[in-house]
Chain A
């Protein structure tokens, strides 16, 4: 699957996969050598405050004598050398909103990756990124014209990173970018897209050769991390809207829901969510009556005739891909629903309404499709039965196991 964060650190670099990390000794290029006794557990070795990073981190960035680590909407600044945990600066964690003050809602729900680049640095949030001119202490200055679309600014090949990246790594004259199970190496200076080196993208796991088995200590607090480091699983998700894409907020909804799902799944469950496609079904007169969907009891294995009719529309979706249908209303025997994951056999999917109240609605419904049931005990959890989960939602160890065993996910 890949990694959720990478950190340049002089003669060392660090890669994070959920709640584990490895330290690697390397030069500008090549995989280098993983230091002995890695992977190790983030919480045990870094000892960040307030539970920061216990479930993994989203991004890390070198910045001279300081390093920054990002987890959901919080971040910490750490004073450290090439190796060792260093010391978290006083007053951290802070919220991204308070500390960085990025424009246009950028980073509102966190970021995916951060890249040191000399006098500049870059932050990535879903399909968008910003370039920032570095100063002494954050907030630095966002360069004019940003945010921009990754697809426009970086022009990576083969659709790489079009919907977001998981990690970025500065490495002298080279930079590395990670998108699920693939990565690219780029030759560049402080600014500009540079040039993707020939032969890339390449598969992460094969090239980096991190230790497959983790010698986790007995007191490992997150026993679900049993997949090979940097391995994990991949699932696919596509969106089909019965509301017109051109005249509604559905495109923003899709971007928000996909980005949050992707970030959460990779950070906490080692699952890379590959973006499939988006299709506007609103112009099909034969489907217009399904824009308000009768979902009956919304129980697993009991799709209504209307769900059968709608879910048969799987243009461009792979057999095991989860298709999310966006409709105006979901009405069942127990009232109106925000989402429903009941689907016909062999047509995995879910339906949601365009409610912006919960950024993890698709992640929740996809969790059902992958075999997860509701949680009735804590609103901290993704599968909490109610809306307004305490962010960031947690995925339990047994749930990770179920997700990775689902017939819809496959090893990276």
Chain B
């Protein structure tokens, strides 16, 4: 279990992370992870989002919701990709914003995170994206997702 910021940074600094990258990281690290969301290393801030999504506490959830407004696309992608690991109401809250993000990459991972757990409003949004998104690749991905959910 990492006990300091430097230990946490080191543990999260895998080039290709796997399950072991997040081992031992739990509720007691939420505060440090929250600080990492502001790290100047964008990839590390994005990884902190994923670590937070694995912690089922109110504080962790709050931090992820706040990260929806992060100006860095990579961080918002990580938030979008984490949505399917969050409670349905929280997932809906996040996806309702990120499905309409200005960046294709964020929208794509938001679409991919939608599941049958999500509300009808969110799923209807997928069907709309499948026909209206300006990016042809994204329309394809949304159409496939709309069929699946």
Interface residues of B in 18-61 (CB under 8 A from A): 18-19, 21-22, 41, 43, 46-47, 49-51
Q: A287-B137, A292-B108, A328-B73 are in contact. Are A336 and B16 (CB under 8 A)?
A: no
When chains A and B are docked, how far (Å) is the Cα of A329 from the Cα of B106?
10
Contacts of A290 in B (CB 8 A): 137
Q: Which of B7-15, B86-94, B119-127 contacts A (4 or more CB under 8 A)?
A: B7-15
A222 in the interface, Cβ–Cβ < 8 Å? no
Say yes or no for A298: interface residue by CB 8 A criterion: yes
A279 within 8 A of partner (CB): no
Q: Given the interface contacts A289-B137, A329-B77, A357-B41, does A339 sit within 8 Å of B47 by beta carbon? A: no
Those 8 A-B pairs whose CB atoms lie nearest each other, nearest first = A292-B105, A289-B137, A335-B50, A336-B46, A334-B17, A386-B13, A338-B15, A387-B13
**Residue B104 lies at the interface, judged by CB distance under 8 Å to chain A:** yes
CB pair B16 A289 closer than 8 Å: no
Residue B100, interface by CB 8 Å: no
* Among candidates A298, A336, A355, A361, residue contacting B77 with C-beta atoms closer than 8 Å: A336
Residue of B nearest to A334 (CB): B17
- Structural contact, B141 and A289, CB atoms closer than 8 A: yes
* A364 CA / B22 CA spacing, docked (Å): 22
Q: Whole-angstrom distance between the alpha carbons of A1 and B149 in the complex? A: 55
Given A292-B109, A335-B21: A298 touches B16 (CB 8 Å cut-off)? yes
Does B78 touch A at the CB level, under 8 Å? Answer: yes
Residues of A within 8 A of B77 (CB): 292, 329, 331, 336
Asked, given contacts A286-B136, A336-B74, whether A385 binds B112 with beta carbons under 8 Å apart, the answer is: no
Quote the shortest CB–CB distance from A125 to chain B (angstroms): 25
Of listed B105, B106, B112, residue having the most chain A CB within 10 A: B105
Asked whether, in the complex, the Cβ of A335 is within 8 Å of the Cβ of B41, the reply is no
Q: Cβ of B47 and Cβ of A288 under 8 Å apart?
A: no
A294-B112, A329-B77, A336-B77 as given contacts; A288 in contact with B17, CB under 8 Å: no
Q: List 11 A-B contacts (CB under 8 A).
A: A289-B135, A291-B104, A291-B105, A292-B77, A292-B104, A294-B112, A331-B78, A339-B16, A353-B43, A358-B15, A374-B16
Q: Which of B21, B51, B109, B135 contacts A288 (CB 8 A)?
A: B135
- Does chain B have a CB within 8 A of A192? no
User: In the complex, what distance in Å separates the CA atom of A387 from the CA atom of B10?
Assistant: 9
Q: Is A208 an interface residue (CB 8 A)?
A: no
Residues of B within 8 A of A285 (CB): 135-136
A residues less than 8 Å from B13 (CB atoms):
386-388
Q: From residue 59 to 98 of chain B, which have CB atoms closer than 8 A to chain A?
A: 73-74, 77-78, 81
B137 touches A361 (CB 8 A): no
Say whether A340 faces chain B, with CB atoms less than 8 Å apart. yes
Cβ of A337 under 8 Å from chain B: yes
User: Whole-angstrom distance between the alpha carbons of A364 and B14 in the complex?
Assistant: 12
